[in-house]
Structure 1
Amino acid sequence: MVQTLAVLAAAVLVALLFADPAIAQTVAPPAAPVPNAGDAIDRALGDLGGNGEAPLALSLQVLIIMGLLSVLPGILLMMTSFTRIIIVLSVLRQALGLQQTPPNQVLIGLSLFLSFFIMAPTISQINTQAIQPYAAGQMGATQMIEVGGQSLHAFMLKQTRKKDITMFSDIAKTGPYATPQDVPFSVLLPAFVTSELKTAFQIGFLIFLPFIIIDLVVATVLMSLGMMMLSPTIISLPFKLLLFVLVDGWALTMGSLANSFVS
């Protein structure tokens, strides 16, 4: 089990860090293959998994796994739809005036499984075009990483604003690019995160508006009645919950978030 997790974690980390669609254009053509050399990544994963002539010690494998597991969640969550969803749900909870309901664990679970739903076409494409051919021995690990990276690159590119890509490419002094597919992950990743944050706050602003109106109406009524010491938040909370339930707010929010990734 430890060896399998090590191989999987190493493959995913290498795919995220080095699956750059611009590498093929910037790196010189490879030299003629050396007999019995094989794929470098295949040999590295084989040594990590214990299939090579000098497998890594168990303690070193555990150390590598723990190091990868501390980095991979952050990388994977920032390259998927998770960021936008968790921010919108947090803003929604704040707009309702609820501090810990739903709790953080529930919001994270909703965001995670909704992210799986949204990313299902991309994951299926990576599995069909990269993972299954690699498992069948039809392609090497390097080609698998390149093919799988192209699917993830295409998803992130659709959700990223051009001006964000231009900003980070100017900072890195790597642009302009001939085609969108030439944008490297080093530029696309920060641009994607920036675009996701902006989109999430735009959706959150629209969610906040009807609840602010309810707060204003309740505060005005209480002031006109002379109830200065009564908190408007306590009175407006049941009305906001009633409005949210009547419009089927959770289904509307989840459906709107899922549709926001459709292009």
Structure 2
Amino acid sequence: MSGAQVVAGGGDFRPRVEKLLTDILGLMGFPARLDLQDATDGSLSVALHFESGTPPSVEPGKRSQVLDSLQFLLNKMLHRPGVERRWVMLGAGAHPEPRPRRDAAAQQQAAAAAPVTSVAQAAAATPAQPPARAAAPAPAAQPQQRNARGGQPAQQAAKPAQAQAPAKSAEADERTLQVEEDPAFREAVRKLAEKSASLGRFYAFAAMKTEDRARVLKAVEGVGGVKVAAEGEGRNRRVVFTPAKPAPMPKRSLLPDDDEDDVDA
């Protein structure tokens, strides 16, 4: 084979574009009639006239993320190694406006026309700076003065009272909250507590509101063989069911069914 590149705008370019676009739009479920024409900037412009309505977020005559993604995919499939690139532009219901592009010659002319400043000119344009003054010596450290009673230093005694306040208040106790009772919720929680006590399994409720944690703690009152308490802080706070007699997990499975009765004693 010779080292010459295959021209993308050859005789088979338009049929390839039509075939790929027709297949892609058919797989998307939005078949369209294609109108191809050569654009002024050298690209191939394609107007998509959808036959059964436009895809979501696509409006005729306007750009959209759907068409931009389809255009990017199409050009990636067309521009293979060894083939001269020719860009394909897509538009919904009409031909897209060509994007302005600056060619290499215009960029070179703009760079040549830019003024060049030499190092000497830059130094002459920069005003001379006065010499920096020597830094003043740091004052000698003064000994800390004691207060009149000979106690802690006066500077420490003058600290504001709020600095000694606790940084974060403790979590509120859900048992003290007054919440409305939900009979169905209460029955389900009591059954889980009884299950934890009978099977010796640990359970926990996470990502619950403070009011729901309060309902859980009030619902398990009177259930024996299990201890239920709220643990953790902030988003990690949860309600934990701890059986009085924990039972080991069955040896035959790491994730047994909770309803199994063959738990090892």
Verify same fold: TM over 0.5. Answer: no
TM-score normalized by the length of structure 2: 0.17
Larger proportion of helix: 1
Q: Which has the higher strand share?
A: 2
Asked which structure has the greater CA Rg, the reply is 2
TM-score, normalization by structure 1: 0.17
Higher RCO (C-alpha under 8 Å, 6+ residues apart): 1
